[in-house]
Amino acid sequence: MRELIYTGFISLDGVMDSPGGGPGEEHRSGGWVFKDIEFLPEAFSLKGEELEETTALMFGRRSYEAFAPVWRDSDDHAAYKQLPKYVVSTTLPDDALVQGWGPTTILRSTDEVVELIKSEGGAIFIHGSGELTRRLSDAGLIDRYHLLVFPVLLGAGKSLFSKADKDKQVLSLRSSAAYPNGVVKLIYDVVR
């Protein structure tokens, strides 16, 4: 089975909404990752480490529509270009896929996600995609979390985790690091 890994930036109070800001961002604190926090390359080294393990990418529709046209032409994301990509959406039409960004498949249900992770291959990383991540987490399908926690409290915005009444999920700390700018790296495995 393939591992399904969520990777993302969150505030200390668990908000993942609008970390980079940009067009269409409605959160009043949009862009909080790059505001008021000193940039230290070592605090973002996790992203480079993940590339070595990534064999495919997964997105929800909104994150795909935001990332695909930008990442396709970005030198910073060139390593992702030819990786297989999966978009989980019941509404994205096939003709809306971004051309020139490698092979992309639309999965129309959580059952199709389950079939994908049962297949042969390596780790699939989910970037952004809060609604998708909450749904897959609630279904017990996320295997690992790679989190960069930023020293900000936002109060409002989309939470990484749902408020659903579900069975407890225990996490095991795989690794952690703290950086002088207050960012903390936390990598957790989901205990099965």
14: left (phi over 0), alpha (psi -120 to 50) or beta: left
Tell me: pLDDT of 145 over 80.
Answer: yes
Domains defined for the chain, CATH in brackets: 4-20+29-190 (3.40.430.10)
Question: pLDDT by residue (tens digit) across 40-66?
Answer: 999 989 988 998 899 999 999 999 998
**For residue 4, which of 55, 47, 45, 44 has the smallest C-alpha distance?**
55
Distance CA 77, CA 70 (A): 9
**For residue 17, which of 133, 179, 174 has the smallest C-alpha distance?**
133
pTM: 0.93
- Which pLDDT does position 87 carry in this prediction? 98
- Which pLDDT does position 29 carry in this prediction? 78
- Which pLDDT does position 22 carry in this prediction? 60
Q: Is the dihedral of CA 170, 173, 178, 181 positive or negative?
A: negative
**23 — pLDDT class (breaks 50, 70, 90):** low
Distance CA 54, CA 85 (A): 11
Mean pLDDT calculated for residue range 168-189: 96
Distance CA 180, CA 101 (A): 36
Question: Residue 112 corresponds to which amino acid?
Answer: E
Tell me: pLDDT of 102 over 60.
Answer: yes
